[in-house]
Chains A and B, each alone.
Chain A
């Protein structure tokens, strides 16, 4: 069975601070995909990034960066110089690669509040 754990339920930081959201996953699959989605107060789920299990390169996109470590089954997300618009609930998700195993298994989410 697949499982995603986001131990941080809520985080509050002051604007311009850096913040890291933790994600730990469990799977028996050798090939899998990891995702981060953002859910702003308006409610929609916005795709941020996909990472394949065979690609452990970290990725940076503007103020966002992701650290994938297969050895510790973690896929952490860092926001640098946070802004009020970053306030949202962030979900980490895991998906298998095999036929019929394409559903996303989500963590419980981390509510991030950026204080102006």
Chain B
């Protein structure tokens, strides 16, 4: 158990809908990262938050947005869903000290999103 929690574990929805994925980081971690794992794209970085502020952005679609709340949990919002958005979405957390030798990302169990 990494200490990172994600809910829900599975999500099935229809095209055009909007969903919210939730992540709680490990105790003491300030950075939260979101990754998408799909068969055609592999594991891709979406976005990073550090202590409530956006820190880095990857190949995140405009239909997707995220935020990190004062209690450090994070939510990833996916809207106008398409079939191609079906994937495993991972949240990871780390202490967040850039370059720190102990700054390892630990991953949650993932949310499997199926868009029908």
Given contacts A44-B107, A44-B109, A47-B2, 19 further A-B contacts (CB under 8 A): A33-B103, A37-B107, A43-B112, A46-B2, A46-B107, A52-B101, A100-B56, A100-B98, A101-B56, A102-B31, A102-B48, A102-B55, A103-B45, A103-B48, A103-B56, A103-B58, A104-B35, A104-B43, A104-B105
- Complex CA gap A44/B98 in Å reads 25
Q: Are A104 and B45 touching (Cβ within 8 A)?
A: yes
Given A31-B99, A47-B106, A52-B101, does the pair A102, B94 have CB atoms closer than 8 Å?
yes
Binding site for A on B (CB under 8 A): 2, 31, 33, 35, 42-45, 48, 55-56, 58, 88, 90, 92, 94, 96, 98-99, 101, 103-110, 112
CA distance A95 to B33 in the complex (A): 13
Given A91-B43, A109-B42, also A99-B98 (CB < 8 A): yes
Q: Encode A95-111 as 1/0 by CB contact (under 8 A) with B.
A: 10111111111101100
Distance between A5 CB and nearest chain B CB, rounded to angstroms: 12
Within residues 66 to 116 of chain A, which ones have a CB less than 8 A from any CB in chain B? 91, 95, 97-106, 108-109
Range of interface residues on A (Cβ < 8 Å): 20 to 34
Return the contact of A35 from the options B2, B99, B104 (Cβ within 8 A).
Answer: B104
Q: How many A-B residue pairs have CB under 8 A?
A: 66
Task: Provide the bound-state CA to CA distance between A103 and B35, in Å.
Answer: 9
Residues of B within 8 A of A98 (CB): 98-99
Set of chain B residues within 8 Å of A97, measured between Cβ atoms: 98-99
When the two chains form their complex, are residues B55 and A100 in contact, meaning their CB atoms are under 8 A apart? Answer: yes
